[in-house]
Amino acid sequence: MSDALQVDQMYVSYQGNQVVKDVTFSVGNGTIVGIIGPNGAGKSTLMKAALGLIPKDKGEVLVNGKPLKQSQKKIAYVPQRSDIDWDFPITVIDVVLLGTYPTLGLFKRPGKSERAWAAECLKKVGMQNFATRQIGELSGGQQQRVFLARALAQKAELFLLDEPFVGIDVASEETIIQILRELKREGKTIIVVHHDLSKAESYFDHLLLLNQELIHFGTSSDVLKPEVITKAYSNQFSFLNKSGQVNCT
Amino acid sequence: MSFMAFLEALFQYEFLQKALWTSVMVGIICGVLGCFIILRGMALMGDAISHAVLPGVAISYMFGVNFFFGAVLTGVLTAIGIGFVSQNSRIKHDMAIGIMFTSVFAVGIIIITLMKSSADLYHILFGNVLAVRTSDMWMTLSIGLLVITLVTLFYKELLVSTFDPTMAQSYGLPNKWIHYILMVVLTMVTVASLQTVGIVLVVAMLITPAATAYLLTNRLWVMIYMAAGFGVISSVLGLYFSFTYNLASGATIVLVSAFFFAAAFFFSPSQGLLWKSFKARKNRASLS
User: Taking CB atoms and an 8 Å limit, are A109 and B157 in contact across chains?
Assistant: no
In this complex, the residue of A72, A84, A106 whose CB is nearest that of residue B171 is A72
Other CB atoms within 10 A of residue A15 CB = 5
pLDDT tens string A102-157? 988 788 889 999 999 999 999 999 999 999 999 999 999 999 999 999 999 999 99
Q: How far is A183 from chain B (nearest CA, A)?
A: 20
What integer is the mean pLDDT of B95-119?
Answer: 87
pLDDT band at B103 (very low <50, low <70, confident <90, very high): very high
Can you give the pLDDT at residue B1? 62
Q: How far apart are CA B66 and CA B60, in angstroms?
A: 6
In chain A, how many domains are there? 1
Residue A246 counted as domain residue: no
ipTM of this predicted complex? 0.85
Q: Residue A44 belongs to what H/E stretch?
A: helix A43-50
Contacts of A83 in chain B (CB under 8 A): 164, 166
pTM of the model: 0.87
Predicted confidence band of residue B208 (pLDDT cuts 50, 70, 90): very high
**What chain A residue is nearest to B89 in terms of C-alpha separation?**
A15
How far apart are the C-alpha atoms of A146 and A138, rounded to whole Å? 10
In 3D, which of B146, B151, B140, B150 has the Cα closest to residue B235? B140
For residue A108, the chain B residues in CB contact (below 8 A) are 156
Q: Strand order in A189-193's β-sheet? A: A66-67, A58-63, A5-14, A17-27, A213-219, A206-211, A32-36, A189-193, A158-162, A75-78
Report the chain B residue with the minimal C-alpha distance to residue A94. B219
Query: Higher-confidence residue: B117 or B126?
Result: B126
Q: How far apart are CA A140 and CA A168, in angstroms?
A: 5
Which residue does chain A place closest to B161, by CA atoms? A98
From chain B, the residues in CB contact with A94 under 8 A are 219-220
Running along chain A, 249 residues long, what does each successive block of 10 average in pLDDT? 83 85 89 89 89 88 86 89 90 95 86 94 94 93 94 93 90 92 93 87 89 86 80 61 46
Would an 8 Å CB–CB cutoff place B223 in contact with chain A? yes
- Contact assignment for B171 to A107 by CB distance below 8 Å: no
Q: Print the domain residue range for A119.
A: 5-241
- The per-residue pLDDT for A237 is 52
Q: Is B217 on the interface with A (CB under 8 A)?
A: yes
Torsion region of B264: left, alpha or beta (phi above 0 gives left; psi -120 to 50 gives alpha) = alpha
Q: How far apart are CA B46 and CA B48, in angstroms?
A: 5
Dihedral angle sign, alpha carbons of residues B69, B73, B75, B76: positive
Whether the pLDDT of residue B54 is over 50: the answer is: yes
Distance between CA atoms of residues B105 and B208, nearest Å: 22
Closest-CA residue to A110 (of A120, A123, A101): A101
Q: Nearest Cα to A61, choosing from A49, A73, A76, A53?
A: A49
The shortest C-alpha distance from B119 to chain A (Å) reads 43
Cα A83 to Cα A163: distance, rounded to the nearest angstrom: 11
Q: Cα separation of B218 and A130, whole Å?
A: 14
- Report whether A126 contacts B173 (CB < 8 A): no
Residue type, B221: W
Where exactly are the structural domains of chain B? Answer: 3-283
Decide if B159 and A98 are in contact by the 8 Å CB cutoff: yes
Decide the pairing of beta strands A58-63 and A5-14.
antiparallel
CA distance A56 to A7: 12
A156/B144 Cα distance (integer angstroms) = 39
Tell me how close the Cα of A63 comes to any Cα of chain B, in angstroms. 13
Residue A223 lies in a domain: yes
For residue A190, the surrounding DSSP H or E stretch is strand A189-193
Query: What is the per-residue pLDDT across B179-194, written as a single tens digit (0 to 9) for each?
Result: 889 988 998 998 888 8
Closest in A72, A101, A134 to B218, CB measured: A134
Domain at A153, CATH number: 3.40.50.300
**How close, in Å, is residue A75 to chain B by CA atoms?**
8
Q: Which is more confidently placed, B124 or B215?
A: B215
Q: Is B159 on the interface with A (CB under 8 A)?
A: yes
How far is the alpha carbon of B227 from chain A, nearest alpha carbon, in Å?
Answer: 13
Residues of chain B with C-beta less than 8 angstroms from the C-beta of A97: none
Asked, for residue A248, whether it belongs to a domain, the answer is no
Quick check: helix, strand or coil at residue A246? coil
**Phi, psi dihedral angles at A25 (to 5 degrees):** -160, 170
Of A200-214, B139-153, B273-287, minimum mean pLDDT range: B273-287
Q: For the domain B3-283, what is the CATH code?
A: 1.10.3470.10
For residue B167, give the nearest of A52, A77, A89 by CB distance: A77
Q: How far is CA A158 from CA A8, A63, B161, B214, in A?
A: 18, 9, 21, 36
Residue B119 pLDDT class (50, 70, 90 cuts) = low
Please name which of B200, B215, B189, B185 lies closest in space to residue B254, comparing C-alpha atoms.
B200
Burial class (CB in 10 A: 0-12, 13-18, 19+), A244: exposed
How far does the CA of residue B220 sit from the closest CA of chain A (Å)? 5
Looking at residue B146, what is its pLDDT? Answer: 94
Report d(CA B102, CA B52) in Å as an integer: 8
Mutate to test the interface with B, among A73, A82, A90 (most CBs of B within 10 A): A90
